[in-house]
Structure 1
Amino acid sequence: MATFAVPPPQTRDWRELPDAKTIDTGTKRLVVFLDYDGTLTPIVEASDAAVLTAPMRASIARLARHAPVAVVSGRAREKVREFVAVENLYYAGSHGFDIDGPGGLRKQVKTSAVPILRAARSQLEVWLRDVAGASVEDNVFSVSIHWRGVAEADRPRVAGAVDAVLALAPFRTTLRKFSGKCVFELRPSAAWNKGEAALYLLDMVRKAEGGAHDWFDGVQPIYVGDDVTDEDAFKALAPFGAVGVLVAPADESERPARTHATHRLRDVDDVRAFLDALAARAEAPPATGDASTT
């Protein structure tokens, strides 16, 4: 039977978290979860411009040769797979509502909500088409309403449009609103999020590796993310002794002070250095005792 570390009794101030590059993962098997926007690529005003750099892609591919790696994003699964373009990863799109992975793994949650989300997106596009800087992104199992480029005076119009859509049937009973960094999200009303998706993927890795339940004792989950939506994963993985890494510069002002993360990195460059360090550790030959002589 797996034994679990006791999670912190309360959240911490992220500004006081230790640098993730100082962690020692020991000899445990790594299982790594990565957010996309703000973690593997910088946050940009035009969502389609968040393209992964070649060096970051190489770092992800290098780590994936030694450990299971999952990308868990709010973007559509097909889009994040296209952006990352590394084979043999697990991809969880739409905050984990749409998952694929090695060996033909496929899981979709609340497929009945997809046409309703499509209708909500169409209505929002009509209501927001004259709000400069606003954009509506179709993530298949969710809808993102971006307002980073919207003038301060017009931002209440964006929030009002989202709330007005949710007041309509059938959206009122089937969709829920969430907030992120300069974005509103509409998702199916279901007990599912990045945390549930991370737990599901962790168990799928166990099954793929033929592990019994004591397999969890020998693994070190690591989740790296920058947004409030990643808090669900930090919290869900804590009982497994996970390292939760929040990506946040010292002058970060778009998130609450409290977090379930255990460590911090400053930016995308820090994330790449961290992934390279994990890969280097995995590539190092196992330590041996002093050689005997005869």
Structure 2
Amino acid sequence: MTNQNVVVPDARKGIGITIAMALSKSLLSPFVPKLLPAAPDGCFTISRKMFSKKTETEGKTHSWVDSMRDSSPTRAKPTTSLSETEEKNTWIVNHPSALNMFEQIVNGSKGKQIVMFLDYDGTLSPIVEDPDRAFMTNEMREAVRDVGRYFPTAIVTGRCRDKVYSFVRLAGLYYAGSHGMDIKGPSKNSCRNKKDYQDVLFQPASEFLRMIDEVYNVLLERTKCIPGAKVEDNKFCISVHFRCVEEKMWATLVERVRSVLNGYPKLRLTQGRKVLEIRPTIKWDKGKALEFLLESLGYANSTDVLPVYIGDDRTDEDAFKVLRSRGQGLGILVSKVPKETNASYSLQEPTEVKDFLRRLVEWKRSTLQGQCRV
């Protein structure tokens, strides 16, 4: 990299300001033409607007890369006076294990209808390098199946609804795919307690289907030369996975994704766990999906319901926030490390989620058996 003089003309004063600085190749492209006319003194000229636009773009890219380094949700800010162990212990006090607090949780649910909301990746299945192989165990499937027999249960995921259904393969559940933009309920014939279920099909972003498909195909082309990048079509949103991308290529990946979205102002870029998410700009998320499902079940204004949402991702925070604002329900974050969250409780990994679901089923069975004896 060599030092070059850059002349930035000041249109207001009619004079040129020469800025001596070291310019990297990435700073000049793509806003500065490849062939720049040289001035007599060897300097080349770019406009102030062009220069500002490029530096602003690079700043945003660096901000995205910094955010990508964190897990999702963002890790809790460390307190310098505390050791890592003390920090974790402090966090656990504020977000105790849902397993350790199980008796307190079920005691608080007496007289209320529990409604279960479950994220998929990182909650029911382990996080894996290939998102197409995020399979849940048979033991987890049995636990979710049993929970669905006793409580209205929904899988709320950023994945395509059909894709996550192919993973779960349980007909008696609600499925909210694409961050809740594609909701389908079980058919009445698939449920034991028919009065508690109804067919639901809700797609608030249908008008974006053609746009999403178009952007998906463009992103496939623009990211194919970045090793490890994977673009996933989730019907009403798009996931760009960077878990297998070397960190030195993250900035390039973000720039390419953002350059594509520049032509689609009705789409927005968000971030999840090792994934960039492209979604319509409508006001809809997992929290809205939770509220919609509660209303569909007849619990919108009920005080006799206890929504329980378990998730591990930044996108699940929208649901945790809804539960906090309602002052009703429990948010459980799945994480091994302290993270900033609106959840009340925590579980460390999917195996603990399975144990929690099993205990919930055992508690419900014993409660029903006790009622029968009475």
Return the TM-score normalized by structure 2: 0.68
CA distance in 2, matches of 1:104, 1:262: 31
Shift in Å, 1:139: 0.3
Shift in Å, 1:235: 0.6
- 5 Å-filtered alignment, 1:45-124, equals 45-102=129-186, 103-124=198-219
CA distance in 2, matches of 1:237, 1:285: 26
Shift in Å, 1:51: 0.8
Residue 167 of structure 1 pairs with residue 245 of structure 2? no
Cα pair 2:116 2:152 within 8 Å, conserved: yes
1:119/1:270 CA distance change after superposition, 3 Å: same
Larger radius of gyration: 2
Structure with more relative contact order (C-alpha pairs < 8 Å, separation 6 or more): 1
CA distance in 1, matches of 2:296, 2:128: 33
Partner of 1:18: 96
Letter in 2 for 1:43: I
Aligned with residue 276 of structure 1, among 350, 358, 364: 358
Partner of 2:87: none
1:212/1:234 CA distance change after superposition, 3 Å: closer
Shift in Å, 1:14: 5.3
Residue 237 of structure 1 pairs with residue 323 of structure 2? yes
**Gapped regions of structure 1 (runs ≥ 5):** 1-10
Partner of 1:189: 281
Partner of 2:306: 220
Q: Secondary structure at the match of 1:284?
A: helix
Alignment size in residue pairs: 266
Partner of 1:285: 367
Which aligned runs of 4 or more in structure 1 are off by greater than 6 angstroms?
none
Partner of 1:5: none
**Gapped regions of structure 2 (runs ≥ 5):** 1-75, 78-89, 187-197
Partner of 1:180: 272
Letter in 2 for 1:117: I
- 5 Å-filtered alignment, 1:111-150, equals 111-150=206-245
Cα pair 2:291 2:300 within 8 Å, conserved: no
Cα pair 1:71 1:89 within 8 Å, conserved: yes
Letter in 1 for 2:318: D
CA distance in 2, matches of 1:123, 1:212: 41
Shift in Å, 1:110: 1.4
Letter in 2 for 1:120: V
Letter in 1 for 2:346: R
Cα pair 1:133 1:148 within 8 Å, conserved: yes
1:267/1:153 CA distance change after superposition, 3 Å: same
Percent identical: 38
CA distance in 1, matches of 2:132, 2:95: 32
CA distance in 1, matches of 2:343, 2:148: 23
Deviations 1:135-169 (A, max 9, x none): 1000000000000100111111111111101111x
Letter in 2 for 1:221: P
Shift in Å, 1:285: 3.0
Q: Secondary structure at the match of 1:272?
A: helix
1:93/1:134 CA distance change after superposition, 3 Å: same
CA distance in 1, matches of 2:130, 2:254: 19
Deviations 1:49-86 (A, max 9, x none): 10111110000011111100000000000111111111
CA distance in 2, matches of 1:186, 1:104: 28
Shift in Å, 1:248: 0.1
CA distance in 1, matches of 2:358, 2:91: 23
Shift in Å, 1:240: 4.4
Shift in Å, 1:245: 0.2
Cα pair 2:294 2:300 within 8 Å, conserved: no
Letter in 2 for 1:38: G
Partner of 2:294: 202
CA distance in 1, matches of 2:179, 2:340: 21
CA distance in 2, matches of 1:74, 1:51: 15
